[in-house]
Amino acid sequence: MQDSKWSGFYKLSRAERLARLNQQTGLTGQVPDLPIEVAEQMVENVIACYSLPLGLAVNFVINDHEYIIPMAVEEPSVIAAASHGAKILGNIRVSQEEKTLVGQIIIENLPNIPQAMAKLMDQREELLAIARSYSQSMVNRGGGPRDIRFEQKQNVMAQYLCCYLSFDPCDAMGANAINTVLEGLCQPIEEISSGKVLMAILSNYNETSLTRAQVSLPFKRLGKSEAEGEHIAKQIQKASDYAKIDPYRATTHNKGIMNGIDGVVLATGNDLRATSASAHAYAARLGHYQPLSTWEIRERYLYGELEIPLPLATVGGSLASHPTAQWVLDVLGRPSAKELAMIATAVGLAQNFSAVKALVTDGIQKGHMTMQARNLLMQVGAKPEEVSQVVKALVKEPRMNSQIALEVLKRFRGQK
């Protein structure tokens, strides 16, 4: 594989990496931390701030635009794999057709559900106007309520009518915004339907708000020769097909995708519970858990696609007051929420590519354990200044575990 303009970035010191980033982005200074006083305003019963490593994934070109992508993650080899994948994949094409949230108002105690539904449908425009009145600032931005529909639901105990509201939250995640609207609609809905509202809340399931990342790779980008590249492409296709028939494998395949996406979600201060719930519910939409990405050979190209609902925000929530998240958004060039979802999806595809390629070629342990070696040394008591020297000896060992790490560390200390 040819060098990229970021080749060897990982060999620089931390200060040199920051200098290179600042030079590239026009930013200045250090990366700000979250002050404890701010943290105290964010959640309850605060006693400290919990830190995670923040690293930079490089080599990303998304829709012809270069990105340096900060990722917050505790697992070794994830950022290396993202950078490695991005280097091989080249330009990743990404699109998002729409970004809407769905909220639901669940109505019970209805003596005649078809009649209640007909009355509510008659008043649909009036209900949409009430919904808009509760989200005027979002409407002014071009977003807000889009549609209302009703569906009958039942279990063995009871029958319900569910009102589904779709809502465009613009650059926010929109949970608070839509919940305010939904609660504002409860009383009018009860009056029209003569029922009782059981609850009103946004849904974290959204099968229509999808982001799609796609790549098409000539075989020669995958191996040292066209023939080796073709072989690797075939193995990757088989791995992708296998994930469709075995939920054990599909779950791990998707974990590999989320390695990348979660790193971006956390770094940008977004709600990880919401993105995880949404992604895995989408993976299970056919009634059995499926891989979120597919890889297949099309006319001597390896074609990869990842499709995922990602309710990301660049304003509102806690990210507005988190200085590190704000700095990360600066590094990304102040994207819109839609652009941020596209960036995260591209990272997910590159991450998945690297993991699957490693699995069907060298195996995961070769690359992963080299990076895990640093953690092993820390676990057995190596000081940070010792780690970079001892790690070279540890990776030369035929096997690696904490016992071996301890022996190598003792040997190093004995030589000094």
Ligand X SMILES: CC(C)(COP(=O)([O-])OP(=O)([O-])OC[C@H]1O[C@@H](n2cnc3c(N)ncnc32)[C@H](O)[C@@H]1OP(=O)([O-])[O-])[C@@H](O)C(=O)NCCC(=O)NCCSC(=O)C[C@@](C)(O)CC(=O)[O-]
| Smallest distance, ligand X to C-beta of residue 391, A | 10
Q: How far is residue 335's CA from residue 350's CA, in Å, rounded to a whole number?
A: 20
256 lies in the binding site for ligand X (CB under 6 A): yes
137 contact choice in ligand NAI, ligand X, none (CB below 5 to 8 Å, kind-dependent): ligand NAI
Q: How far is residue 387's CA from residue 374's CA, in Å, rounded to a whole number?
A: 6
Closest C-alpha to 346, from 205, 170, 171, 215: 215
**CB atoms inside a 10 Å sphere around CB 411:** 11
| Smallest distance, ligand NAI to C-beta of residue 100, A | 13
SS3 of residue 104 by DSSP: strand
4 lies in the binding site for ligand X (CB under 6 A): yes
Q: With CB under 6 A as the contact rule, which of the stretches 33-41, 78-86, 227-235, 263-271 interacts with ligand X?
A: 78-86
206 contact choice in ligand X, ligand NAI, none (CB below 5 to 8 Å, kind-dependent): none
| Smallest distance, ligand NAI to C-beta of residue 253, A | 25
Segment (H or E) for 162: strand 159-168
Segment (H or E) for 59: strand 54-62
Segment (H or E) for 198: strand 196-203
Beta strands in 258-346 (DSSP E): 293-298, 301-309
- Residue 100 near residue 181 (C-beta atoms within 8 A): no
Tokens 């019963």 belong to which residue? Answer: 45
| Smallest distance, ligand X to C-beta of residue 242, A | 11
Active site residue ranges? 75, 255, 271, 368
- Map residues 187-216 to x or -, x wherever contact with ligand NAI holds by CB under 6 A: ---------------x-x------------
Among 153, 255, 411, 413, binds ligand X (CB under 6 A): 255
Segment (H or E) for 138: helix 136-140
- Map residues 42-61 to x or -, x wherever contact with ligand X holds by CB under 6 A: -----------------x--
Closest C-alpha to 10, from 80, 67, 68: 80
252 lies in the binding site for ligand X (CB under 6 A): yes
| Smallest distance, ligand NAI to C-beta of residue 270, A | 8
| Smallest distance, ligand X to C-beta of residue 77, A | 4
Q: With CB under 6 A as the contact rule, which of the stretches 7-15, 99-107, 307-315, 398-406 interacts with ligand X?
A: 7-15
Q: With CB under 6 A as the contact rule, which of the stretches 151-159, 164-172, 187-195, 232-240 interacts with ligand NAI?
A: 164-172
* Residue 78 one-letter amino acid: V
Closest C-alpha to 299, from 213, 237, 219: 219
- Map residues 344-373 to x or -, x wherever contact with ligand X holds by CB under 6 A: ----------xxx-xx----x--xx--x--
CA angle 410, 415, 416 (to 5 degrees): 100
- Residue 78 near residue 269 (C-beta atoms within 8 A): no
The interface with ligand X within residues 154-213 (CB under 6 A) comprises none
Would you tell me which residues interact with ligand X (CB under 6 A)? Answer: 3-4, 7-10, 59, 75, 77-81, 83-84, 87, 252-253, 255-256, 259, 354-356, 358-359, 364, 367-368, 371
Would you tell me which residues interact with ligand NAI (CB under 6 A)? Answer: 137, 141, 169-177, 179, 202, 204, 271, 274, 313, 315-318
